[in-house]
Amino acid sequence: MSSSPGRSFPLSRKLNCSMEDLPEALLTEILNRITRTSDLNYLSLVSKQLYKIEGSQRGAIRVGSGLCTATKAPTSLCARFPNLWKVDIDYSGWVPGHGKQLDNKGLLVFSSHCPSMIDLTLSFCSCIDDSGLACLANCKKLVSLRLKSTPKITSIGLFSVAVGCTSLSALHLIGCEKIDSVEWLEYLGRDGSLEELVVKNCKGINHHDFLKFGSGWMKLQKFEFESKRGRYGLLDPGDVVYDSLYDAQSMDMYDFCCESLKDLRLAHIKTWPEAGLRVLLGKCKALEKLCLQYVHALNDNDIIALSRSCSNLKRISLWLNLQRYSSDVSYCETRTSFTDNSLYALALNCRMLQMIDLSFTECDADWPSEIGFTQEGFLVLIKSCPIRVLVLNNGNFCDDEGMKALSSSPHLETLELILCRAVTDVGMRFIAHTPCLSNLTLRMCPNVTDVGVAELEHAQMLRVFGHRVLW
């Protein structure tokens, strides 16, 4: 069949081409629209050109038990993906039957053959030690390093990273048992380049060690510290009595500032009689997110100082357990860390607060109990701030009258009630009329029955989760 101007070719001739004939720009666009790694792997087998383009485009890779210790596998991976910027080596769940793990030589291959690598995670890598970690000095662009359960790595290897990786801005250490001395921390503090520091379950690192971070606090934007988790339940007769009037925020012995810190989490630490990291609460002017989980010895002075400094606070999570407080030797009070004075201070000074998570451990089921908050103080905070998300765990001070007050909250979208025994079907009748509420979770609230849930059925756009399931 002959062709002429304006006349189309037959369909058979239009399709007489292969993937190899498609423009590279079109193939690149196709690959950019595919997000699942498995799909990319299969698609790259369709043609040599797709294989080549997909390999050059792949920026992130996650390897584990299938990667042997010989250098051949890492070398071939680096040749296949020359532009890797993120490498995640994860041996969680590994057993000897899965084959050998990546060792120091394999890590050397990645560090020397991935010039674009900026993000590296090593999880449960039991064959990598300090000499392997020292290879990362080749990674001049490395920005983020995460070490999780790496049993052979010590402070020596970490110090080599601090010295060699001059672009490092994020460091996570989780379950690294042999890291103890803090020369690496002091060095990173003097350099002042870290913006994110997370340390969890490293028994050789004490929360007082971070006071040696010095000028490093100036640039830090996110900080988490969680010590090895111990007992946080009922008190023993010999437990320490803390001074409820002690004001660590009035001390000027710690001469540093952390005006860039936006995200702070402290968990399972004891700060008394030395102030330690509690002084951070009075120094964080830019703080937006605060999480305190079972931090011993804190009192109202800490939250009051925080509220005066952090007008931008948007999220607060307080997980509290029982402690002994006294400012009078003749009387000792067993309660959670904070009282209504803390709630009033937050209500007065933190008017941007949008998310509140309050959890109380081992407190009596009935009110009054050892919880330092009352419903009155709680509602003052709720009414003063544009709260969108509220989680209340074992908050026995909050009853149906509290639910009635919550129902008038103009911004509340998500409400989660756990072990709130004073809330009944009557409270659900009030909650059903909360103007913006769209997600309600009820867990182990024994006095909310099917009758109360039926009240919620009349509320349009409201989704109810967890009723009965966990009782």
Query: Model confidence over 15-29: pLDDT tens digits?
Result: 455 555 656 666 666
Range among 101-105, 182-186, 205-209, 222-226 with highest mean pLDDT value: 222-226
pLDDT at 368: 85
321 within some domain = no
| Same domain for 63 and 196 | yes
Whether the predicted pLDDT of 231 surpasses 70: no
d(CA 462, CA 223): 36
Residue finishing a domain among 190, 205, 220: 205
| 45 and 100 both lie in a single domain | no
User: Domain range spanning residue 178?
Assistant: 59-205
**How large is the average pLDDT for residues 357-364?**
93
- Tell whether 156 is covered by a domain: yes
Instruction: Say which DSSP state 239 is in.
Output: P
Tokens, residue 394: 């074992």
Give yes or no: residues 51 and 116 share one domain. no
Q: Is 193 within the bounds of a domain?
A: yes
C-alpha 89 chain-centroid distance = 20
- CA distances in angstroms from 409 to 80, 252, 311, 394, 396, listed in the order given: 56, 40, 21, 21, 20
Element (H or E) spanning 428, and its range? Answer: helix 425-431
pLDDT digits (tens, 9 = 90+) for 77-113: 888 888 899 999 999 988 888 888 999 999 999 999 9
Residue given tokens 């010895």 in the structure block: 297
SS3 content of the chain, % helix, strand, coil (to 5): 35, 20, 50
Least confident interval from 76-80, 281-285, 321-325, 407-411: 76-80
- Per-residue confidence (pLDDT) for residue 377, from 0 to 100: 97
C-alpha distances out from residue 171 to 121, 122, 177, 291, Å:
10, 12, 16, 19
- Ranges assigned E (strand) in 301-397: 315-320, 323-328, 331-335, 355-360, 389-393
190, two tokens: 């003097």
* 400-411 pLDDT, tens digit each: 999 999 999 999
- Is 87 in the same domain as 170? yes
pLDDT score of 9 more than 50: no
pLDDT at 234 over 80: no
- State the greatest distance between any 2 C-alpha atoms of the chain, in Å, as a whole number: 109
Measured distance CA(290)–CA(328) in Å, rounded: 31
Residue 264 and residue 303: Cα distance in Å, rounded?
13
Is the pLDDT at 468 greater than 50? The verdict is: no
Structure token pair of residue 124: 């449960």
Residue found by looking up tokens 């605060």 in the block: 290
| Distance in angstroms (rounded) separating the CA atoms of residues 468 and 471 | 5
pLDDT at 272: 73
DSSP 8-state code for residue 248: G
112 burial class (0-12, 13-18, 19+ CB within 10 angstroms)?
middle
Identify the pLDDT of residue 208: 86
Residues 139 and 93 reside in one and the same domain? yes
The mean per-residue pLDDT over the stretch 374-381 comes to: 97
**Cα–Cα dist 198/264, whole Å:** 10
In a domain, 378, yes or no: no
Residue 230 has pLDDT above 60, yes or no: no
Assigned domain for 251 exists: no
- In the listed set 184, 205, 226, which residue is the last one of a domain according to the structure? 205
Antiparallel, parallel or unpaired: β 331-335 and 323-328:
antiparallel
Three-state SS across 17-82?
CCHHHCCHHHHHHHHHCCCCHHHHHHHCCCCHHHHHHHHHHCCEEEECCCCCCCCHHHHHHHHHCC
Burial class (CB in 10 A: 0-12, 13-18, 19+), 458: exposed
As given in the structure block, the two tokens for residue 299 are: 């009192």
Residue 7 has pLDDT above 60, yes or no: no
Are 66 and 37 members of one domain? no
Please indicate, yes or no, whether residues 186 and 68 belong to a single structural domain of this protein: yes
The enclosing domain of 175 has a CATH number of: 3.80.10.10
DSSP letter assigned to residue 101: P
pLDDT computed for residue 270 by the predictor:
85
Residue 155 resides in a domain: yes
Looking at the structure, tell me whether residues 191 and 69 fall in a common domain: yes
Can you tell me whether residue 243 is helix, strand or coil?
A: coil
Average pLDDT over residues 402-430: 95
Same domain? 161 vs 116: yes
**35 and 112 co-located in one domain:** no
- Smallest CA-to-CA distance from 410 within 382, 430, 377 is with 382
What is the rounded CA–CA span in Å between residue 83 and residue 56? 6
- The residue length of the chain stands at 471
Number of structural domains found in the chain: 2
Question: 406: burial class by Cβ within 10 Å (0-12, 13-18, 19+)?
Answer: buried
- Cα distances from 303 to residues 279, 280, 356, 369, in angstroms, run 11, 11, 14, 21
Give me the pLDDT at residue 252, please.
67
Question: Which residues, 6+ apart, have CB-to-CB distance to 83 below 8 Å?
Answer: 56, 57, 58, 59, 116
Assess if residue 96 is contained within a domain: yes
Give me the mean pLDDT over the 39-63 stretch. Answer: 69
CA 80 – CA 319 distance, rounded (Å): 48
pLDDT > 60? residue 233: no
Euclidean distance between CA atoms 212 and 189, whole angstroms: 8
Does 80 share its domain with 51?
no
Most confident of 7-16, 156-165, 255-264: 156-165
Q: How far is CA 374 from CA 369, 408, 418, in A?
A: 10, 19, 17
Sign of the torsion formed by the C-alpha atoms of 447, 449, 452 and 458: positive
Looking at the domain assignment, is residue 389 inside a domain?
Answer: no
**Alpha helices per DSSP H over 354-438:** 375-384, 400-406, 425-431
Identify the pLDDT of residue 1.
42
Asked if 103 contacts 110 with a C-beta cutoff of 8 angstroms, the reply is: no
More confident residue, 22 or 219: 219
C-alpha 356/C-alpha 289 separation (Å) is: 10
Specify the pLDDT at position 357: 98
pLDDT, tens digit, 9 for 90 and up, residues 119-169: 999 999 999 999 999 999 889 999 999 999 999 999 999 999 999 999 999
Backbone angles phi, psi at 27, to 5 degrees: -65, -40
Q: Are residues 181 and 65 in the same domain?
A: yes
